[in-house]
A and B are shown apart, each in its own frame.
Chain A
Amino acid sequence: MEILRNLWRRKLRNFLTITGIAIGIMAFTTMGSLAQRNQKLIDGGVKYFSDHISVGASNSSQFGGGLVSLDKLEAIRKVDGVAAAFASASAPAKGDTSGFSFGVPASIVTDQPGAEQYSNFKITAQSGRSTNLKDGEVVLGSDIANEFKKSLGDKLDLPTAPATPRADFINHTFTVVGILDKTLTAPDNFAIVTLHDAQRAMGDSLSPAIRNQIDPSILIGGIDVYGKPGVNLDDLAKKINNKVPGVKANPPSEIVKAFKQFSFIFSAITLGAALLALIIGGLAVVNTMLMSVTERYREIGLKKAVGAKTRHILREFIAESAAIGLIGGTTGLFLGWVITSLINAATADKNLQLFLLTPSLAITALVFATGLGVIAGVIPALQAARLDPVTALRSQ
C-alpha cells in the first residue's frame, strides 16, 4: 500500500512513465500475438510437411503443385524405402478468390484414408467423421464450417459460387459428414472430399481451354509419400527424383527450412517490439526513479537513521520501480488484448484471425514489464541506498 501511495504522491509523472511502459507492452503484446498466430500456422506447416515427401509436377514449387499423372503413384510406391504414397488433388473452395486471405486459403483437398497411421499431423473431428468418405460427402475445417454456417447433414455447394459467376463456372453439391476440431493452421480452411471429387474440382478449376482437353480422372495435383521407419526422407526424395521421371520430390528439410525462415521474421518482429518497450519504458523508469530518489533524500536519511540497512532501501526502491513496471505491463497487456480482440472480432466474418494472445505470451509480457521495472530501478535504488544519512537528513 505504501508503494502505491508513494506512486500516487507523484501522480502525473508516474502516470506518464506507466503510459510509456503500457505503450511498449501494448506493442509487444500486439506484435507478439501476431507472431504467435503465425507461429501456430508455421508450426502446423512444419509438422505437416516434415513427416512426408511432397511430390509435384516436375515444374512445381517446393510445396508441390502442378498436374501429375495418376500412374506416377504406382511408380513411386515401388521405390525402395517408400512405406505408403497417397494421391492428392486440390482446388479453391470459393469461386470468388479475389478477397484477402491470411495463411492458407479455403481449399478443397483430398481425403487420404490410411494416411493417419503414417502422419504426425493428426486431425480429429469435433463431430461426425474426419476420413473414409464417399463421393458427394465433405468434411469441413472449423473455420470454413463456421463461415458457411454448416453443421452435420447440411448441404454445401463447392466451390461456393461467386456473386457473379462466369458462364463456365461449375460446382457440385456435397453433404457435410464431419467437422474438424480447430487446429489454428491450414486444415481449419479445408473442405475434404474423396480423391474422385477432388480431381473433378481440380479439373473444373482449370480454364475451359485446358479443361476440355484433359481427363481429370487420370490427373492429380501431387503425391504425399511416407518413408519406411529409419529411412531418411531427404535421401528418399533424391531416389524418387532419380527413379521416377516427370515428377519433383521435394526434400522435407528444405520445406521445413523455408517455414523456419518465416518463423524467424516473426520472432524478429516480436523482439523488435520488446526492444522498443525496453528502451521507452526502461529510460522512463530510470528517469522517474532518479527524480524520486532526489526528492526523497530526507526520507531515505530518516529511514537510515531509524535503522534501515542498505538492503532495506534497495528493496523499497526496487519494489516501487517494479510496481511501475507491473502496472504499466498490466495496462499494456489489457490494451493489447482489447486491440487484438477487437480486430479478431472485426475480421471473424471473413474467417480471418490475425492475432493469438496465448497465456504464455501474457505471462511473458507481465514478467518482462516487471523485470524491466526492476532492472531500471537498480541504479536509482543503489544511489538511494548509498546515501550518507547525515547528508540526506540535512538536505532541503
Chain B
Amino acid sequence: MPDIEIRNITKYFGKGERLVKAVDGITLTINGGQFASVIGRSGSGKTTLLDCLGLLSKPSSGSIVIDGVDVLTLSGGDQAEFRSKRIGFIFQGFNLLPSLTAIDNVLLPLRYGGGDKAAARKRADQLLEEVGMTARKHHRPTELSGGEQQRIAIARALINEPAMVLGDEPTGEVDSETSEILVSLMKRLNRDRGVTFVIVTHDQSLAAQTDRIIRLKDGRVVSDEVIITGRS
C-alpha cells in the first residue's frame, strides 16, 4: 500500500494582522495501512490538515505526495479524479444523499469515477455485508439510524478501493455504544483490507485505539506517538 508524504505544508487564511495560520508547516509520513488519528483542541488545524490531505482545500505552500504522485501539481479536474479513485471520505454528519437508497449512496463515487458498473455493484454488496447493512441496502437514509447511516458512509468511502480513507469526526454524531461499534468496524476494515485510515477526532478513547496519535496545536505537530508502524 502507498505511503503518504506531507512536506512542510501551510494553510493561511486572511492577510496582515488578520492572518490565521491554520496549518503552519506540517511534515509527516503516514505509512500505508496505518490507522492514524489526528487530535487537538478546536482551532488546532486538524480539520484543515484533513481538507488539504483530501484535496478539498489547497495548501498555501508545501507538497503532498500520495502513492508517488505529487497531488498538488495536478489540475482541478485531475485532482477530482484522484479524489474519486484514491481517497475515501467519512464525515461527521454522514452526508448521505436523501434521494438515494443505501446501496446507491455506496455507489455514488462510481458515478463520477467511471469503471465497471457490474463489478462495482458486486463490491458494494460485499461492502454492505462487511458493514452489516445488507438487510437495509434498499432503505433511504431517513429510514436508518445515525450508526447505520455512518456504516453506509464507511462502505461508500471504500467502494473505489482507495489508498486512504479520511474521517472527519466519524463518531461525532453517534452515542458511545454506536461509536465503539463504528471504531471496531473501521479497525477491522483497516486490518482486513490494508487501507490507510486518517481520522480527526476529539474522542480520546477512539484515538487510543489507533496505530498512531498525531497531536496538533496552533497548526503544528506537538506530538506524534506511533504505536504500530503500519503494514506496508
List chain B residues, Cβ under 8 A from A66. Answer: none
B100 touches A312 (CB 8 A): no
The answer to whether the Cβ of A168 comes within 8 Å of any Cβ in the partner chain is no
Q: Which of B76-96 contact A (CB under 8 A)?
A: 76-77, 80-81, 83-85, 89, 91, 93, 95
The answer to whether the Cβ of B113 comes within 8 Å of any Cβ in the partner chain is yes
The answer to whether the Cβ of A393 comes within 8 Å of any Cβ in the partner chain is yes
Q: Chain A residue with minimal CB distance to B80?
A: A309
The answer to whether the Cβ of A206 comes within 8 Å of any Cβ in the partner chain is no
List chain B residues, Cβ under 8 A from A299. Answer: 95, 97
Within the complex, the shortest CB–CB distance from B149 to chain A, in Å, comes to 13
Interface of A is mostly: helix
The answer to whether the Cβ of A70 comes within 8 Å of any Cβ in the partner chain is no
The answer to whether the Cβ of A389 comes within 8 Å of any Cβ in the partner chain is yes
Alpha-carbon distance A101/B99, docked complex (angstroms): 56
B112 touches A306 (CB 8 A): yes
B99 touches A298 (CB 8 A): no
B83 touches A305 (CB 8 A): yes
Q: Chain A residue with minimal CB distance to B81?
A: A307
A305 touches B54 (CB 8 A): yes
A306 touches B100 (CB 8 A): no
List chain B residues, Cβ under 8 A from A305. Answer: 54, 56, 83, 89
The answer to whether the Cβ of A2 comes within 8 Å of any Cβ in the partner chain is yes
Within the complex, the shortest CB–CB distance from A289 to chain B, in Å, comes to 16
B91 touches A393 (CB 8 A): yes
Give how many A-B residue pairs fall within 8 Å (CB-CB): 59
Alpha-carbon distance A284/B56, docked complex (angstroms): 33
A307 touches B95 (CB 8 A): no
Number of chain A interface residues as a range:
20 to 34
The answer to whether the Cβ of A304 comes within 8 Å of any Cβ in the partner chain is yes
The answer to whether the Cβ of B109 comes within 8 Å of any Cβ in the partner chain is yes
A390 touches B57 (CB 8 A): yes
The answer to whether the Cβ of B151 comes within 8 Å of any Cβ in the partner chain is no
B99 touches A2 (CB 8 A): yes
Number of chain B interface residues as a range:
20 to 34
Q: Chain B residue with minimal CB distance to A305?
A: B89
The answer to whether the Cβ of B43 comes within 8 Å of any Cβ in the partner chain is no
List chain B residues, Cβ under 8 A from A389. Answer: 56
A306 touches B56 (CB 8 A): no
Alpha-carbon distance A307/B114, docked complex (angstroms): 10
Q: Which of B104-147 contact A (CB under 8 A)?
A: 104, 108-109, 111-113
Within the complex, the shortest CB–CB distance from B42 to chain A, in Å, comes to 13
Given contacts A9-B99, A302-B97, A393-B95, whether A307 and B113 have CB atoms under 8 Å apart is: yes
List chain A residues, Cβ under 8 A from B95. Answer: 298-299, 301-302, 393
List chain B residues, Cβ under 8 A from A307. Answer: 80-81, 83-85, 109, 112-113
The answer to whether the Cβ of A303 comes within 8 Å of any Cβ in the partner chain is yes
Q: Chain B residue with minimal CB distance to A311?
A: B77
A303 touches B112 (CB 8 A): yes
Alpha-carbon distance A395/B92, docked complex (angstroms): 12
Q: 1/0 per residue A279-310: CB within 8 Å of B?
A: 00000000000000000001101111111111
List chain A residues, Cβ under 8 A from B89. Answer: 305-306
Alpha-carbon distance A2/B76, docked complex (angstroms): 26
The answer to whether the Cβ of A166 comes within 8 Å of any Cβ in the partner chain is no
Give the most central of B81, B97, B108: most A CB within 10 Å: B97
Alpha-carbon distance A310/B112, docked complex (angstroms): 11
Within the complex, the shortest CB–CB distance from A14 to chain B, in Å, comes to 13
List chain A residues, Cβ under 8 A from B91. Answer: 302, 393
The answer to whether the Cβ of A6 comes within 8 Å of any Cβ in the partner chain is yes
List chain A residues, Cβ under 8 A from B81. Answer: 307, 309
List chain B residues, Cβ under 8 A from A303. Answer: 108, 112
Given contacts A389-B56, A390-B51, A393-B56, whether A306 and B97 have CB atoms under 8 Å apart is: no
The answer to whether the Cβ of B220 comes within 8 Å of any Cβ in the partner chain is no
Alpha-carbon distance A301/B99, docked complex (angstroms): 16
Within the complex, the shortest CB–CB distance from B123 to chain A, in Å, comes to 15
The answer to whether the Cβ of A149 comes within 8 Å of any Cβ in the partner chain is no
Within the complex, the shortest CB–CB distance from A219 to chain B, in Å, comes to 79
- Given contact pairs A2-B104, A299-B95, A309-B80, a sample of 11 additional A-B residue pairs in the complex whose CB atoms are under 8 Å apart: A302-B91, A304-B80, A305-B56, A307-B81, A307-B84, A307-B85, A308-B112, A309-B76, A312-B112, A388-B57, A393-B95
6 closest A-B pairs (Cβ-Cβ)? A307-B84, A307-B112, A5-B99, A306-B109, A302-B95, A308-B112
List 22 A-B residue pairs with CB atoms under 8 Å apart, sorted by A's residue number.
Answer: A9-B98, A298-B93, A298-B95, A301-B95, A302-B97, A303-B112, A304-B80, A305-B54, A305-B56, A305-B89, A306-B84, A306-B109, A307-B85, A307-B109, A308-B112, A309-B81, A310-B76, A312-B112, A388-B57, A389-B56, A390-B56, A390-B57
